[in-house]
Structure formats: C-alpha cells, structure tokens
Structure 1
Amino acid sequence: MLVNKACRVFGLLISHYSHSVVLSGLQSSRLCSSWTGVKKRNYWKYLKRSILGAPAPPYKKVVQTGNPILRGQAESVPPERIPHPETQALLKRMTQIMRSCGCVGLSAPQLGVPLRVMMLELPEHLCQMVPPDVRTFREMEPFPLKIFINPTMRILESRKLSFPEGCSSVQGFSAVVPRCYSVEVSGLNEKGEQTSWKTQGWTARIVQHEMDHLDGVLYIDKMDSRTFVNMCWMEVHE
C-alpha cells in the first residue's frame, strides 16, 4: 500500500509514536482551552490502545513537533498512484482535517504520511475574521482549495516580508518569519494533471510554509526567536 510503503521508505516505526499555516491569532481561544501541558492517558484510553493498537496514518489529528516525521524528507508520489483509492482517501482526510482545524494549509507529513502532498485554502469567512487594514497590509486574499502533489517552487521575487506565522504542528505558538514576496508552485493536482500557480503576499507565505514541511523544515527554524510567543500567555497566568 502506498502509505505503508512510504512509511517504510522513510524508515520510521510510525506505530511507536502517539504537518499548516494557521491565521495568527484566529485559534488562540480554542487552543487556550485545550493547552494544559502534557496529557496523561486515562485508563479507558490506555485500554483502547492496548486492544486496538496505535492508530495508523493518515491520522485524524495533526502530529505535533517532536514527532520525527516532521523532520524527514517526504517521498514523491508515483503519478500512476494518484487515482488510486488510497491516495484519494489521503486527500479527503487532509481536506477534512485542514478545514476542521481552521487551517489555511496542510501537508501529508502532518498527518503521519511522508509523501510530497500539500493543500492550501483561504476561505472568505476566515479572511473576514482578520481586520481589513491587516488584510490589506499583509495582502490577504481568499482563494479556493489548491492541491499539489510532488510540488516544486520557484522564487519570483526574493524581497522578504516579515509577519507573524503559526502552525497546526506547533499548537498555541506564533512567531515572526521572513518569507519571499512572490513564488510560483508547480506540481500535479488531485487528478494527476500538471498545474502551476503564481502567488504573492500572504498566499506566497502559505505556499512556502507548506513546501518547508515536505523538506522537514518548521517555521521555528526560520523565525525571529525574540518574537516566539505562546498565544495564550495571558490565560495561562490567570
């Protein structure tokens, strides 16, 4: 199977372990309510794990930093495997998780699958949650779902812009990250057709963030460390 084969190639024993940009600040209240430090598995969860074993990828939750899969180089998907039900199921799962988490991008490694697959989407309702002046300053424009398999990226304008950035694999935190102003991403879509997309501003930032995930890079590797903050720091001290 494609997913299992990729995991073996990557060399990880996925079963031994318990992958996007989010609009900075939009999820802070939800994250605050769930951020309690290290969680202890209760008896019933322990029993369930003992009987059913560890969940298999693609996971139903986004893996968090510390999971080795986030630091590996993802493998290419054979084009002939794109129409396969397993690949299509992965794309469906990624879309569901990305939307349910309120993310604007997600990569396959973030669900435990070390394949070069990423998707991006900025719906109008998420855009409207950002103040108009901020949207203008950051050049935020809504765009429909975009899926790229085996993507490559070309920098169109190397001028760097620095803005706060978050990630669903580094939950509850944010930092300022410099990104190139404009890029072009090319690859195959969910039908296996060649596609490309020229982007700039905030959209280009999302593309660069997700491309990094496919190469084992997190935004914390590129951030201005002095700006790294817990988005719930006030609530934590109350």
Structure 2
Amino acid sequence: MPPATKPTDFSAARIQETVQQILTAGVLPQIVQAGHPVLRHVAAPFEGQLSGAELGQLIDLMHSVMHKAPGVGLAAPQLGIPLQLAVLEDLFEVDADVAAVRGREPLEFFAMLNPSYRPLGGRAVAFYEGCLSVNGLQAAVGRSESIRLDYTTPDGTRTQRDFSGWQARIVQHETDHLHGILYLDRAELRSLSSNAEYSARWAQPDISLARKELGFLPEGPAA
C-alpha cells in the first residue's frame, strides 16, 4: 500500500490566488513533474474556494492542457493546484484487439470534485500505464477491474457512477492523484520501462510477455 500522505497546507486564499495566476497567464500551464511536493500531499476538498465562474474556467483550461499533452485525465495538483478536482476523457482511437483485452471503451468528458472510489467485486487486473507527471516511463499496475465512484459534479450535485475496464483504471489513477499517490506507488517496479522500450517490446494487448521476460507478477493473472 502507498504510504500515508499529509494534507496540503494551502489556505483557501492561496488556492484561489494560484488558480488566478494560472487563469490570467495567457498560456497553457506546464504539467508538474514527479518530485514536486504538490503531488505528494492530499489535496484540499473543494469547499467553495473558487467561484462558479473560476471553477468553470479552470475546468476548461485543464481540458485544454489534457488534450495538448495528450492524455486521458488530468488532476488539479498536476498544475500545481492542491484542490480535489480532476478532468477525464478517453476518445482516442485504439486497436480493436487492444481495446477488447483491456476493456477500453470511449469515456466522454467529465469533471469530478472530491472523488472517492471502492472496488466492485474482488477482481484486479494489471496493465501498463503511464502518467503526464512522470515523463518517459511506464509500468504495470494492478487495479480493481470494476469500481463505484462517488463524486461531486461542478454544479454541486453529489453523484455515484460505476466504471469497469480501462475507464475504471483512469478514474482510479486520477483519484489517486488527489490523495498524493502516483501510479508508481502501486506499480510492479520490475516492469518499469522507458516509453521507447515499452513501444519496442511490451506494447502487446496484455502484459504476459513483459511479465515473463522482466520477472514480475510470476504467479498473477496474465491480464
């Protein structure tokens, strides 16, 4: 299990000031990289630190940054903002065989505030994943195949949604960001690969070849 993390010491005023600086800069912000403390603290729950207009502008900006990266999710701490907010979307075209093995279905854009999740059933699956805040690396991570997400929508509605397959993986990854957890904390470290090595050797639909050759999860499922 990942180690316990401390809550952010940012006040509501400092969070709002940070957001305003980003919104008024006139350029898309850089994505914070591993080693920055904001990625290792529990972000502040959203409790009205931003006005509705500010929140909407920040969500739109995060959507743009995510597209430019490109990625399928982005959490506010990845922009240096310790607030429990993340945006998610997965509309990339993916090889049909890869999509079938990984349970990868299109995920329409949505933003979530103050999310938490719990597994539905006991099945966990492992696949390679990466992170926009850990440039150049990928590793195999075991995650719950199906989850139930509790979150607040930008209009303040508390909502529950169930996710499975790759959508569930994205939701877990982004929710972890808001609690100071990087995917490397949950990864099989013997699987760690550069993007180039992953593309050249381990980009099959599942992790069975990488598992055999790199010597990780020797008794686990091949998924």
Same-fold call, TM cutoff 0.5:
yes
**Structure (1 or 2) with the greater helix fraction:** 1
Which of 77, 85, 106 pairs up with 2:46? 77
Query: 1:131-150 to 2 correspondence within 5 Å?
Result: 131-150=95-114
Separation in structure 1 between the aligned mates of residue 143 and residue 133 of structure 2, nearest angstrom: 19
Please state how far the C-alpha of 1:152 moved relative to its aligned partner. Answer: 1.8
Which of 121, 126, 130 pairs up with 2:89? 121
Distance 1:234 1:191, change over 3 A: closer
Partner of 2:214: none
Which of 147, 156, 170 pairs up with 1:206? 170
- Alignment deviations for residues 113-142 of structure 1 (CA, whole Å, 9 cap, x no partner): 00001111111xx1x2x2211110000000
Please state how far the C-alpha of 1:85 moved relative to its aligned partner. Answer: 2.2
Distance 1:112 1:61, change over 3 A: same
Separation in structure 2 between the aligned mates of residue 195 and residue 138 of structure 1, nearest angstrom: 26
Partner of 1:229: 193
Partner of 1:67: 36
Distance 1:167 1:234, change over 3 A: closer
- Alignment deviations for residues 14-69 of structure 1 (CA, whole Å, 9 cap, x no partner): xxxxxxxxxxxxxxxxxxxxxxxxxxxxxxxxxxxxxxxxx944771210001110
Please state how far the C-alpha of 1:158 moved relative to its aligned partner. Answer: 2.7
Query: 1:168-187 to 2 correspondence within 5 Å?
Result: 168-187=132-151
Distance 1:234 1:185, change over 3 A: closer
Indicate if the aligned counterparts of 1:77 and 1:150 stay in contact, CA closer than 8 A.
yes
Indicate if the aligned counterparts of 2:10 and 2:82 stay in contact, CA closer than 8 A.
no
Partner of 1:42: none
After TM superposition, the score normalised by the length of structure 1 is: 0.71
Query: What do you get for the CA RMSD once the two structures are aligned?
Result: 2.6
Q: What residue ranges of structure 1 are gaps of 5+ in the alignment? A: 1-5, 13-54
- The answer to which structure, 1 or 2, has the higher relative contact order (CA under 8 A, 6+ apart) is 1
User: Are 1:100 and 2:68 an aligned pair?
Assistant: yes
Separation in structure 2 between the aligned mates of residue 153 and residue 140 of structure 1, nearest angstrom: 19
After TM superposition, the score normalised by the length of structure 2 is: 0.75
Please state how far the C-alpha of 1:9 moved relative to its aligned partner. Answer: 3.2
Identical pairs, percent: 35
Which of 1, 8, 27 pairs up with 2:10? 8
Name the count of aligned residue pairs. 184
Which consecutive aligned stretches of 4+ in structure 1 deviate over 3 angstroms post-superposition? 55-59, 80-83
Aligned AA (2:75):
S
**Structure (1 or 2) with the greater strand fraction:** 2
Indicate if the aligned counterparts of 1:110 and 1:169 stay in contact, CA closer than 8 A.
yes
